[in-house]
Amino acid sequence: MNIAELESNTNDLHAKFEAALAHLEEESDQKDAELESLQETIDKLGEQIYQLEDENDRMKEEHDRMREEEAAERDRLEALSAAFKEVSYPHSRLFSNGLKMWHT
């Protein structure tokens, strides 16, 4: 093998090496861009999770408040019902006693 062939082979190897290196750099750049895009997506999803957790907490608080209001309203209505029964039953007893007195 002569020097010209060695130089030719060396140049071919160098060109192949440069092409392979350029290809690897391109793949690396693509991977970096993909990773950056995925990180942005993760960041956005993380923010959405925080917003949904906040909304969930607000909804729980609202639900608890509504349950407390309903319980208070139920207690008020039960007390009102008991008061109406208290007021109406003594009169009906008196009236029925009055009828008995008329019949005897």
Q: What is the pLDDT of residues 77-104, one digit of tens each?
A: 999 999 888 887 655 555 555 545 445 4
Print the domain residue range for 49: 1-104
Q: What is the pLDDT of residues 31-60, one digit of tens each?
A: 999 999 999 999 999 999 999 999 999 999
Query: What is the pLDDT, as a whole number, of residue 89?
Result: 66
Residue with tokens 């923010």: 47
Tally of structural domains, the chain: 1
How far is residue 38's CA from residue 44's CA, in Å, rounded to a whole number? Answer: 10
Tell me the pTM.
0.54
